[in-house]
Structure formats: structure tokens, C-alpha cells
Amino acid sequence: MINQAAEQAPELTEVYQVDAVGLVCPLPILRFKKRTQHLPSGTQVEFLADDPTGRKDLQALCDITGHRIHWIREEGAGVLRYRISLA
């Protein structure tokens, strides 16, 4: 049984990525919405954006939809990486 659990672990940690680097408001949030609209609840998404208003806009979207931001990391060159769990 331990081997089965280990084999299933990669599926649990699979992360969908949405890259919106280089896009400006409102395009990063629109790209996020479009690329995640058909993904199941609980899907983990990494969202990359460098738009200065992106953090505020993403938080507003999550407040409306129930998505949860787990963490935000600075990647350099103004790029932020967000880990989000879809509602």
C-alpha cells in the first residue's frame, strides 16, 4: 500500500500554470479566468504576473469566486508567482 500512495502523490501535487507575464490590466485576470474556468474545484494553480495592479485584482477575484491564495512569491524582474486553490 505504501507504493500505491507514493505513486498517487504526483497527481495530488500536480499544479496547473497560467502565465500572464507581460500583460497589463485587465488582461492578466481575464487570462486567469479563461484558463481556469473549466478546471475542477481544488485544482492547484500557479499564476505568474508582473502587472502592478495584479495582486489587488487577483485578491478581488478570489474574494468573489471563493478561490484561495495560499502564497505569493517574488520571482525577480517584477514577476510574482501566486499559488491558488480553485473553489
| Contacts of residue 46, Cβ cutoff 8 Å, sequence gap at least 6 | 15, 16, 17, 18, 81, 82, 83, 84
Residue 25 bears catalytic tag: yes
Q: Which residue has the higher pLDDT, 6 or 37?
A: 37
Distance CA 43, CA 3 (A): 24
The string of pLDDT tens digits covering residues 59-76 is: 999 999 999 999 999 999
The string of pLDDT tens digits covering residues 16-62 is: 999 999 999 999 999 999 999 999 999 999 999 999 999 999 999 99
pLDDT at 75: 94
pLDDT at 14: 87
Its pTM stands at 0.82
Distance CA 60, CA 62 (A): 5
Band of the pLDDT at 12, cuts 50, 70, 90? Answer: low
The pairing of beta strand 68-76 with beta strand 79-85? antiparallel
| Contacts of residue 53, Cβ cutoff 8 Å, sequence gap at least 6 | 25
Q: Catalytic: which of 16, 19, 21, 25?
A: 25
pLDDT at 72: 97
